[in-house]
Structure 1
Amino acid sequence: MPLSRPALLLRTGSRAVQDARAWVRAACREIDRTDLLECAEFGVSELVSNALFHGTAPVTIRMRGTVDHPRIEIRDASTEPPLLPVPLALDDEDEVLLTVGRGLSIVASVSDAWGADIDASGKTVWFTPASEIDEGDGVEGVITGPSGAPPKPERLGSETVEVSILGVPLALYRGFQHHFRELRREVRLLSLAHADDYPLAASLSALFGSLERQLLDGLGHGQLSGVIGSGPDHDRETADLHVRMPRSAADTVRRFLDMLDLIDEFCRQERLLVLARPPEQVTFQRWFLGEYLTQAAGGRPTRWSAAQMAGPRF
C-alpha cells in the first residue's frame, strides 16, 4: 500500500540520528525495498547531522516519491542552501559517521539523485537512495527554489472574465493550498531526478506553473492574505472571492482537474508514496475550480453551501 508512515519530528540531542536511522529502516521495509537499507541509512546519518548542526528546528524526516524511486527528505526551518559536496572516500561506517561538516559527499555517493528544495519557510534536502555505494564522486545535486516567492503575474490581455467564488470555506481552502504545494513540489522533483522514468512529470510540473501564474497568484497573495493570515479577520470561516482571470485559463483548469484525478489513481495503484485526496478535498476542489469553468462559459456562480447539496458537476 502507499506509504502512510507519518513524518518523524526529530528531537535535538544525541539520539536524533539513531532515531532517524531506525525510522528509515522501517520505512524501507514497509515498501519492500530492503535493498536500499545501507545507502538510505548512510544518507540519513549525514543529512540529519547537518540539519541538527547547521539548520534550524524543527527538523523532520519523511519519505515520498515512488516505490521504484523512494525519496527521503530531511526538512528544517533554515533557508540557507546546503554546502556543495567535496570528493570523499567511504571506507567503513565509522568513517561515515564522523564526517559531519564535510558537506554532502556521502549523500552524493549513496544516491541515484539528490538535491535541496528551498522555499519561504525553510529547506528540504532530499535523496533517492541507491542500491549500492558509488566509490567515486557520486551524482551531482540539484538545488531548486525559493519556490515560496510569488510567481510573476500573467499578462491578462483583453479577453478576461470576472469570476466570483462565493462562500469559500477557508479551512478547506488552506488544505487545498497545502495539497497544491505538495503536488507541485512532488512532480517537480520527479521531473528533475527521474525524467526518463517519469516523462509525464515534466509536463505536469509545467501545468502547475501555468495554473499558479494564471489563477492562484491573485487569490493566494491578494484577497485571501487578510482572511487566512494574521489580520483582524483571521478567524473568519468563509469568504467571497472575486478575481479577474484570462478566459483562456479555463483550459488550464480543466487539464488540472483531470490531472488531480489521475494522481489520485496513481496513489491508489501504489505508484506514488502519497495518499489520495480525502473525499472532502475532492468535493471542494471540484467545486472551487469548477467555478472558473462555469463562469468562463457564461454561467452564474454557485455558493459553496448549494454546491455541497448538489454534488460534483465535473
Structure 2
Amino acid sequence: MSVTGIASAECSLPPAPVAVGRARRAVREALQEAGGMQLLDAAELVVSELVTNALVHAGTPVSLRIVAEPTALRVEVHDGSSHLPVRRRWADTAGTGRGLLIVEDYCDRWGSTPTLAGKVVWFEIGHLPDRADPTLPSPTDDEVVVPVRLLAVPLLMQWAWQEHASSLLREFLLYALEDDASALAQHAAASAALSLLHEQLPVPYLPTAPDVLMASLIEPDVTAPEVCLQIPASSVGHFEVLDDLLSRAVAAAREGRLLGAPTQPEIVEMRGWLCGEVARQARRLEPVSWVAGTDLHVPGKVPAGWQGLQRELRDSPLAVVATDDSGIIVAVSGPALELMGYGEPTDLVGRRVLVLIPERYHQAHIAGTTLHATNGRDALLGQEVRVPMVRSDGVEISVDMRVESGRHGTGPAFFAAHLRVVGSTPKG
C-alpha cells in the first residue's frame, strides 16, 4: 500500500561492502513510505555511488540521513574523511573517475561540507520547499601541518601516474578484499594521500592538436622547479601505505593477476621519491630533487614471442620500429637500423624506445605510455607528426613518424612506428 506524506530515517553503516545494499534498502523503504517510488531508480544509483565512494576513500563507518516526500528526496552521507569529492580530469576511457558524473546526471542538486568528524555529501531529487541545508560545524583549523617542498617535479608524469594509480588501486582492492580484512582501510588511506596530491599538485595543460601537443610537451616546460605541499600530520603515514599498496598492485599486475598494466620504471621511481619525500620532510630532513635513475644504455632483455614479427620486419623495405605496450623495442627493420645508425637488430631489440627519443621528450613519452596502458588514450596514434629522433652517435635527425597499433597473428598487440626522413620519398 502506498502511503503519502513525509518519511525520514537514519541508519549507521559498517565500513564493509554490505553497506551499499543496506543504503539502497533504506532509501527504498523511505520512498515507499512517502509514496515517492517514481524516484527510486535514480535515488538508488546515486546513493550507491556516494556510499561506495565513502567506503573506498574514507574506510570509516558511514551514517545515512534520509528525508522523503511524494515528489522529492534528500539523502546525506556522512563519513570520517575530510577530503571533499572533486571531479578528476581523467580521460573518458579511464577505468575510474566517473562517480560524480553519475551523481550530477541523476540528481537535481548535490554538495559536500566538511564537519568536525569528517564530511557530509548530500543530494536531492525533486524540490524540497523551504528546506535549507543543515547547519554544520566547521572543522578545527589547529591540526599540525607538515610543509613538503618537492623539487624538480615532473608534472606530466605525476599527472599520468595519479590516473594510473587510481585505476590500479581500485582493481587491487577488488582483488584483495576477499582475503584481506584490512584491504578497505588500506585503500582508504592510499586514496586520501592521492586526494591530497590531486588537490595541490598543478595540472599540466594538454593541447589537443597533435603538432601543438608535440611542440609544447617538452622540457623544461613540463617540470615545475618547486611545488610546496601542506600535508596534515595525521596524513603523513598515508603516503607510506600508498607506496606499499601500489608496490603490491604493480607486482600483481606484472604477474598477470590484474587486468591493469604495470607501468614505466620511471613512474615507479617517481612514486617512491614522492612518497619518500613526505616521510623524510616530516622528519625535518632537507628535500631531495627528483632525478630518474633508470639507465637507458644498459642492454635490455630480448622479449620472447616476437620472432614472427622480427622475421617480417627483417625483410621490410620500410623503416619501422616496433615496440610492445610497455615501450620495449621488440622488432626493427633494416632501413630503420640504417636510418638510426645501428648495425644489427640486437643493438636495439630489448631496449627501451626512449634511446631513440631526445631527452627533452622523455617525460611526455613516459606519461603518454602510462595513459595508454591505463585507459587506451593516445592522441598521436594514426597521425603523421614530425619529430626529432636520436641516432646511435647522438646526432638528432628530423623524421616524419606515423604510429599504428597492430597484432602479429594471435600474439600480443604492438605499436609500429613508421619513420621517414623529412623530404624523402617512402619506398614500397
- Shorter-chain TM-score: which interval? 0.3 to 0.5
Which has a greater percent of helix?
Answer: 1
Greater RCO between the two (CA within 8 Å, min separation 6)?
Answer: 1
Please state which structure has a larger fraction of its residues in strand.
Answer: 2
- TM-score when normalising by structure 1: 0.43
Structure whose alpha-carbon radius of gyration is higher: 2
Give the TM-score taking structure 2 as reference length.
Answer: 0.33
